[in-house]
Structure 1
Amino acid sequence: MADDTGHTTPTRRELTGRIGVGLVMGLCGVLFVSTARISGGESIRDESGSVAEVLRERGRTISDLTDAAASKRTRIEELTQGTSSSEDRSQLVADAVGLSAVSGPGVRITLSDAPTSALGSIPGVTPDDLVVHQQDMEAFINALWAGGAEAMMLQDQRVINGSAFRCAGNTLLLEGRVYSPPFVITAIGDPDAMIASLDSAPSVKVYREWVEYVGLGERSEPLDEVTLPAFEGSLTVDVARTG
């Protein structure tokens, strides 16, 4: 539409469109500023990593700290050499708590998940039935201790008094490191006594029933000679409570 001066007058629909575009652009600006403040100038998507990635990153950090602790322990041993009586007492304590490597006969237990094909071939079976759980590993570890195990290792880490582990799905978290199956338990002691203890443990018998039912894995093998490394984690108690 044109006025008396020859200029075109915007129609009502055109004015509405321009106002709408202006509002949309204004809202986009607000969202852009808010996003920049929340993300600190970085992509928000980058901060939403999976739990598995967080655990892997923590595992890498713990590995670096463990290496640093091992280096410092070596340095301390170098500085304390030359005092025989103190050295003997330190060695006795180290042997008792697992701070020194140990060798001898033993057994190795390997536990693994069942094949996923069991889901379609066995009625009533769920994915949770096909994985090795924390209580399964605890059952074998406790039976080995009861059978006279003198030292033990889970995966590639020495297990000592106070060691703790937990499972998330079908992964194992031990001393800040993440492991996937199969899970390997190695114990030093009388192989016959430890295997007999496994055979008589009720919780181990339950696991073996599921071995037969869904195909969970278990392999036990006696070892003539095996060496377990010294414990390299922290002995510090983070939290202590009484009462």
Structure 2
Amino acid sequence: MRAPRLRPAGGRAAVAAVFALAGLLFATSALTSRGTDLRSETADLGALVAERSRLNEQRAARVGDLRAEVDELSRAAAPADRSLEDPLDDAALGTASGALAVTGPGVTVTLDDAPDDVRPAGANPDDLVVHQQDVEAVVNALWAGGAEAMSIMDQRVVSTSAVRCVGNVLVLQGRTYSPPYAVAAIGDPAALRAALEASAQVAVYRQYVAAYGLGWSVDAREGADGLVLPAFDGSTALAAARSAA
């Protein structure tokens, strides 16, 4: 076995700086999205959500600056032996983890509240808006259809992503969004469409589309440059976890 090559002193210093900045990056970007289902939450939490969103935007900007510094120092400290490089440089792993932006064919699904002037007889306000479980149903169906990567609005979906509803807005990684909601997935467009058609949960939402005028559209993009999904820029740290048993 070949003895490991020693780093020059300058390289060791750069590596130390990388780890120090990386630790600060994860601490800065440790955000937790919390919320409730729109169907069961009617309290006005607008002011609280707006303040949290403002703070999260400031932290996200700081995270971006720290990532740029970490990338620069990582390149400066990169070993000559490429077998020792960060495994996230591998395209497949980078795509699966969300660490890399990705481009390819796929579909974009858009969900929207019913128009303000639509008030069918017998409908209550909860029947006329998109809910947390509706977005989750689309996300789950697209994964089941073989999606290789996904985003909701302008954020990449990763293993720690959690969609929550607070009042009449959607919260993802601490950022707030109003409808229409766009879910984009890269994969075989035909297979993704078929998975949406086969989903019982999506079928329930589409019944409300037919009955109450909620928005629903599926836009397929063919070709290698069909969709462009950003890299994940949030935190993957778990604040708490418990067994489902």
Bin for the TM-score computed over the shorter chain: 0.7 to 0.9
Inter-partner Cα distance in structure 2 for 1:169 and 1:55: 9
Q: How does 1:222-237 map to 2 (within 5 A)?
A: 222-224=220-222, 225-237=226-238
The yes-or-no answer on 1:238 pairing with 2:239 is yes
Q: 1:201 aligns with which of 187, 199, 202?
A: 199
Percent of pairs with identical residues: 46
- Structure 2: which 5+ runs fail to align? 1-43
Letter of the aligned partner of 1:231 in structure 2?
A: F
Contact 2:160 2:238 (8 Å CA) reproduced = no
**Deviations 1:55-83, CA, capped at 9 Å, x for gaps:** 11111111111121122122112112233
Contact 1:101 1:227 (8 Å CA) reproduced = yes
Q: How many residues align?
A: 192
For normalisation by structure 2, the TM-score amounts to: 0.74
2:151 match: secondary structure: strand
Inter-partner Cα distance in structure 1 for 2:212 and 2:179: 16
Q: 1:77 aligns with which of 71, 74, 93?
A: 71
Q: Provide runs of 4+ in structure 1 moved above 6 Å.
A: none
Q: How does 1:82-231 map to 2 (within 5 A)?
A: 82-83=78-79, 84-87=82-85, 89-92=87-90, 93-119=93-119, 122-224=120-222, 225-231=226-232
Superposition deviation, residue 241 in structure 1: 4.1
Inter-partner Cα distance in structure 2 for 1:125 and 1:71: 48
For normalisation by structure 1, the TM-score amounts to: 0.75
1:118 match: secondary structure: coil
Inter-partner Cα distance in structure 2 for 1:77 and 1:192: 37
Q: 2:53 aligns with which of 55, 59, 75?
A: 59
Contact 1:111 1:184 (8 Å CA) reproduced = yes
Structure with more contact order per residue of length (Cα contacts < 8 Å, sep ≥ 6): 2
Distance 1:59 1:86, change over 3 A: farther
Inter-partner Cα distance in structure 1 for 2:74 and 2:84: 9
Contact 1:106 1:188 (8 Å CA) reproduced = yes
- Structure 1: which 5+ runs fail to align? 1-49
Contact 2:136 2:163 (8 Å CA) reproduced = no
If each structure's helix is expressed as a fraction of its own residues, which one has the higher value?
1
